[in-house]
Chains A and B, each alone.
Chain A
């Protein structure tokens, strides 16, 4: 079970969180003309990366904040966690 540092609450067990997928995905702006391919990419296409991955988690049984977690998908090492609006260097 992973041990995730919520930027608001501190170190918490994985079972307090729910996974939210790739954090690098940007939702297309509302009311913007967009091709079928672009929309298809946004809705369905995800890379299943091996290695460092920026992903979303929600601290569901805690502060309910959506946070960003930089994690290695192969080793499960967590390098850093960020608030949703935090600049990521």
Chain B
């Protein structure tokens, strides 16, 4: 099929490069520089989808970001993307697209039956229809709605494309490259300001590409091209096309989405598909232009009814006719420009102008060209189902209330112009309280809220000369403030045709006996009668009317519908538009893909990965890793076909019988120095710290001010005024902030400095009855006997020429040590331990065995210190000093914290000594009690005790202190398990702590 609606000449497309593409399975041709929309129209395709509610046929309404209809499912490089506007998607070789929202096909759509059952789908139809009976919702209504409604289909595949984020600072960010954007950018750039000029379309120039104007003896288009060419050469200017500034956030932070590769058949290697720019601008110039308003009449959603500015753009930019027998329906001079453009290309349009007898330069030109113009005429209704084939027209009385005799005239498209709506979204997002401008029947920005200035059509200025003057001045003045340069630019001579006043008329009354649907919102199918119903039902606030009728809530966010909706509400309510007010503009201005928002922070890039210096050793020795916060830690070291359970049991058992070594580099470490260091520790920890001697470690617990346990760990006194604190892996960052908070804000008189040294030290825990023998081999020159290095002792040493710190601390219930060396020597230390430990059957153990060992000795960890427990609950109350004050102490007097039956940690053993107990299960008295069964406590951690060779768990249990010996049930409805258990002491191994001191 040939492009029968393509003109022989003209347009900005590249006719030398023909492209083939598929729409709904059929192959068509277009040119490089086309959008999918212009290429389809060139091929005479006007039916592209179905409407959301009534499944009425949908064509094209606009030519850009405001498009409410032409939304397609796009296929590109074996991927699919839903809800792409055909008016924005640039054509590329091999593009494939399909209609959405129609089933089984766009030509025969079962959902269109809704159109004839419209009595069931009035305003608020979601709220009314699907509410009752309740059981119908998930069985009948929801599956029906899911099938029939909704737009495109998201891909279920992993998105292999790459999306980038970029952070940028500039003096002036200019959104939109029409006349005001170009003029202000040029003036600011000449003053040496750092400028970013953003244009959402592929071509720069905005309205200059389609308007018949002359600047400095050049056409608008040539002037735009020369300015852009000059700007691109300037080092202080960034010029970006295909880039939409979609959000204006606090403190002049704007976000822009750049479509880097969407116009190509395939993203180039090392290129992103899209790039999101976070721009902090000193000044923001909003030159986003305006969008033409529709006129409202019967069946005004029929394919072939479109904005007159869009028809002109298809002609001038793409060389495409939207129809060969056009009718132009207008209330202002803009429609004439479109008609004149048709006429110049050999097409005979008819103009219907609602005005009585308007006079202007443009109208005279149309008259001189011999165009058929009917004043005081309106379109009553469009006729034709899948495409306009004629229009019912009538004369309208001067008061716009009475229609004359309705006559039918043939036409194949109706180009409508209801005047212009400034695009004020960005200004409004910045916090600018917009104001209603009577002369243009639309809102414009009011007083600037942030550093934003709105120019040109976006500011309700519709003459080129005034726009350019304002914009040169704004660009010059704002840049002068920043750069102190003052380059004057000579103002070019501007030639444009003068317009006359538009008609304050936008909605054609219904002819007698007819009940045509007159649409306001074209994507959500909201008609005049829907608004009327909502108001009759008592909705008054425009925000409520919007939500009840869904006006302006579609993916186009009402770019073409909001103002007409407001006009209607104010007409019915007998109010003026500003009293009704407009709904809130929120970012994004236009839909942004989730991929762009997420950027590169996906998969393993979603957070940093920290590895210990011994990581490659673990890898070489078959470690299976687990995420521990941002760290990767060995969970177990797999031997042969071992399972996790078998391996961790072997590793834990080896610690209890021989000796094991565990990488504890991830533990948080904080270096504390200063004459008041002991005083700080004494205030931060619950126990006493003032008398800890040099060379000794102590276990400590710290609370939040509300009495809840925050963290635990050991702190060692390295020298007189120097301490080494350890924290849990998870709380390391919080504890440092906590200390800094008290030192800087609460007790600045304390002379102490704290700094994180987590990454400076590599740590190895050596645990087991043979650990001392291994230590003697590692440090032959030191006395590591029980007397030389007693429990909780510390010494500094030398590990074959490497500086080392030795702590005698234990979290496994066994005789144990922790050795630290500087990170660079971590691997050296580790290999020495493995090498010299061979004769003592040393084995590395991972976090799973580490958990087993700590659970069966009843040492609490993160799963018990869960932000809900106080020292008593976790049996740490022995560490709470009665004598001194400390952070959180006062809260421990709270009634709930001191009650007799307060929860407490206990051990749990299944009666059959076999069944494993799922973590998170509940403890109940009677497994057969009716639901909801009263919960007495929960299982916080479970393991297979290697000491007793049976399952063992820790639990936080109500009145735990008096429950030892009781028989209860563990219930896990998730795992469908009921396990009879006995409550025992939480210290299941060596309850007197003799081993660690041996």
Q: What residues make up the interface of A, taking CB atoms closer than 8 Å to B?
A: 1-3, 13, 18, 20, 27-28, 30-31, 34, 36, 39, 42-44, 56, 58, 60, 64-66, 75-76, 78, 84-85
Query: Which residue of chain B has its CB nearest to the CB of A75?
Result: B431
**Cβ contact within 8 Å between B740 and A64:** yes
A43 touches B744 (CB 8 A): no
Using Cβ atoms and an 8 Å threshold, which residues of chain A touch B893?
36
Residues of A with C-beta under 8 A to B683: 30
Within 8 Å of chain A (Cβ to Cβ): is B706?
Answer: yes
Known pairs A58-B741, A76-B250. 19 more at Cβ < 8 A?
A1-B249, A2-B250, A3-B251, A3-B280, A13-B280, A30-B885, A31-B885, A34-B890, A36-B893, A39-B890, A43-B705, A43-B891, A64-B740, A66-B744, A75-B431, A78-B251, A84-B745, A84-B748, A85-B748
**Chain A residues with CB below 8 A from B891, complex form:** 39, 43
- Please tell me if the beta carbons of B740 and A1 are within 8 angstroms of each other in the complex: no
Interface centre among B249, B740, B745, B886 (most CB of A within 10 A): B745
Chain A residue, CB-CB nearest to B449:
A75
Q: Identify B251's interface contact among A27, A58, A76, CB under 8 A.
A: A76
- State the CA gap A60–B738 with chains docked (Å): 12
B744 touches A65 (CB 8 A): yes
Which chain B residue has the least Cβ–Cβ distance from A36?
A: B893
Residues of B758-782 whose CB lies within 8 A of A: none
Instruction: Verify if B253 is at the interface (C-beta below 8 Å from A).
Output: yes
**CB-nearest residue of chain B relative to A68?**
B745
Check B740 against A58 for contact (C-beta < 8 Å): yes
Q: How many residues of chain B get a CB closer than 8 Å to chain A's CBs? A: 25
Report the minimum CB–CB distance from A12 to chain B (whole Å): 11
Q: In the complex, how many angstroms separate the beta carbon of A46 from the nearest chain B beta carbon? A: 13
Is B746 among interface residues, defined by CB-CB distance under 8 A?
Answer: yes
B741 to chain A: closest residue by CB: A66
Partner of B741, one of A20, A34, A36: A20
Give Cα A75 to B616, complex, Å.
51
User: Closest CB of chain A to B216's CB: distance in Å?
Assistant: 39
Is B737 engaged at the interface, CB distance under 8 Å to the other chain?
A: yes
User: Which residue of B has the minimal Cβ distance to A27?
Assistant: B746
Q: Which residue of B lies closest to A28 (CB)?
A: B890
- CA separation between A20 and B744, bound complex, in Å? 13
Residues from chain A with Cβ under 8 Å of B745 in the complex: 56, 66, 84
User: 8 Å CB contacts to A: which residues of B253-273?
Assistant: 253
19 contacts between A and B (CB under 8 A): A1-B249, A1-B251, A1-B278, A13-B167, A13-B280, A18-B737, A27-B705, A27-B746, A28-B890, A30-B683, A31-B884, A36-B893, A39-B890, A58-B737, A58-B740, A58-B741, A60-B737, A66-B741, A84-B744
Residue of B nearest to A56 (CB): B745
The answer to the question of B252 belonging to the interface, with a C-beta cut-off of 8 Å to chain A, is yes
Complex interface: chain B residues within 8 A of A39 (CB): 890-891
Shortest Cβ distance from B565 into chain A, in angstroms?
A: 28
- Identify the closest chain A residue to B742 (Cβ): A27
Return chain B residues, CB-CB under 8 Å to A78: 251
Q: How far is the CA of A1 from the CA of B280 in the complex (A)?
A: 9
A-contacting residues, B667-720, CB 8 Å: 683, 705-706
Contacts of A64 in B (CB 8 A): 740
- Closest A residue, CB atoms, query B705: A43
Distance from A57 Cβ to chain B, minimum over Cβ atoms (Å) = 11
- A1 & B890 in contact (Cβ 8 Å cutoff): no
Tell me which residues from 122 to 177 in chain B have a Cβ below 8 Å from any Cβ of chain A: 167
Q: Chain B contacts of A13 at CB under 8 A?
A: 167, 280
In Å, the complex CA distance between A30 and B251 comes to: 40
CB proximity of A13 to chain B, nearest CB, Å: 8
Known: A30-B683, A65-B744, A84-B745. A3 touches B253 (CB 8 A): yes
Min Cβ gap A65→B in Å is 7
List chain A residues, Cβ under 8 A from B748. Answer: 84-85
Shortest C-beta distance, B221 to chain A (Å), equals 38
List the 8 closest pairs (A to B, CB-CB), nearest first. A3-B251, A30-B885, A76-B250, A66-B744, A31-B885, A1-B253, A84-B744, A39-B890
What residues on A are CB-neighbors of B431 within 8 Å? 75
Give Cα A76 to B449, complex, Å.
11
Chain B residue with Cβ nearest A26: B746
Min C-beta distance of A75 to chain B, whole Å: 7
Residues of A contacting B280 in the complex (Cβ-Cβ under 8 angstroms): 3, 13
Question: B890's closest neighbor in chain A, by CB?
Answer: A39
- For B884-903 the 0/1 string (1 means CB < 8 A from A) is 11100011010000000000
Contact yes or no, B706 A43, CB < 8 A: yes
Q: Which residues of B contact A56 (CB under 8 A)?
A: 745
Cα–Cα, bound, A65→B748 (Å): 12
Q: Do A2 and B251 form a contact, CB below 8 Å, given A43-B705, A75-B431?
A: yes
Nearest CB in chain B: distance from A45 CB, A: 12
Chain B min CB distance to A2 (Å):
5
**B contact residues around A20 at 8 Å (CB):** 741
Alpha-carbon distance A11/B167, docked complex (angstroms): 15
How far apart are B275's CB and chain A's nearest CB, in angstroms? Answer: 18
B884 nearest in chain A by CB position: A31
For B706, list chain A residues within 8 Å (CB): 43-44
**Bound form: Cα–Cα A31–B885 in Å:** 6
> Which residue in chain A gives the minimum CB-CB distance to B278?
A1
> In the complex, A56 Cα to B744 Cα: how many Å?
11
B988, chain A: closest CB distance, angstroms = 36
Contacts of A75 in B (CB 8 A): 431
> Which of B252, B746, B886 has a CB less than 8 Å from the CB of A3?
B252
CB distance from B656 to the nearest CB of A (A): 42
In the assembled complex, the CB of A73 is this many whole angstroms from the nearest CB of chain B, namely 12
User: A30-B683, A42-B705, A43-B705 are contacts. A1–B250 as well, Cβ < 8 Å?
Assistant: yes
The residue on A at minimum CB distance from B895 is A36
Shortest distance between the CB of B45 and any CB in chain A (Å):
44
Question: In angstroms, how far is the closest chain A Cβ from the Cβ of B671?
Answer: 14
**For the complex, what is the distance from the CA of A28 to the CA of B167, rounded to whole Å?**
43
Q: How far is the CA of A13 from the CA of B168 in the complex (A)?
A: 12
Q: How far is the CA of A64 from the CA of B705 in the complex (A)?
A: 22
Expressed in whole angstroms, the Cα–Cα distance for A75 and B432 within the complex equals: 11
**Residues of chain A lying within 8 A (CB to CB) of residue B251:** 1-3, 76, 78
With a cutoff of 8 Å between Cβ atoms, the chain A residues found around residue B886 in the complex are 30
Q: Which residues of B contact A30 (CB under 8 A)?
A: 683, 885-886
In the complex, what residue of chain B is closest to A23 when comparing beta carbons?
A: B745
Which one of B740, B741, B744, B884 has the greatest number of beta carbons of chain A within 10 Å?
A: B744
CB distance from B950 to the nearest CB of A (A): 43
How many Å lie between the Cα of A84 and that of B740 in the bound state? 11
Among B276-334, those with CB < 8 Å from A are 278, 280
Cα distance A18–B737 in the bound complex, in angstroms: 10
Could you tell me the distance between the alpha carbons of A85 and B746 in the complex, rounded to whole angstroms?
10
Q: Find chain B residues with CB under 8 A from A84 CB.
A: 744-745, 748
Complex Cα distance A28/B889, Å?
12
B688 CB, nearest partner CB in chain A, Å: 14
Report Cα–Cα, A64/B741, bound state, in Å. 10
Instruction: Return A20 CB to nearest CB of chain B, in Å.
Output: 7
Nearest Cβ on chain B to A37's Cβ, whole angstroms: 12
* Distance (whole angstroms) from the CB of A38 to the closest CB of chain B: 9
Alpha-carbon distance A78/B921, docked complex (angstroms): 48
Provide the bound-state CA to CA distance between A28 and B748, in Å: 15
Closest to B167 in A: A13
CA distance A4 to B891 in the complex (A): 34
Within 8 A of A (CB), among B200-236: none
A64 to B280, alpha carbons, bound, how many Å?
Answer: 23
Query: In the complex the two chains form, what is the Cα distance from A65 to B278 in whole Å?
Result: 26
User: What's the nearest-Cβ distance from chain A to residue B815, in Å?
Assistant: 38
- Within the complex, the shortest CB–CB distance from B739 to chain A, in Å, comes to 11
Q: What chain A residues lie within 8 Å of B253 (beta carbons)?
A: 1, 3
Shortest distance in angstroms between A44's beta carbon and chain B's nearest beta carbon? 8
Assembled-state Cα–Cα distance A44/B705 (Å): 10
A2 / chain B contacts, CB cutoff of 8 Å = 250-251
> What is the CA–CA distance of A56 and B65 in the complex, to the nearest angstrom?
42
Q: How far is the CA of A75 from the CA of B250 in the complex (A)?
A: 9
CA distance A39 to B846 in the complex (A): 44
Nearest chain B CB to A64 CB, angstrom units: 6
Bound Cα distance A15, B280 (Å)? 13
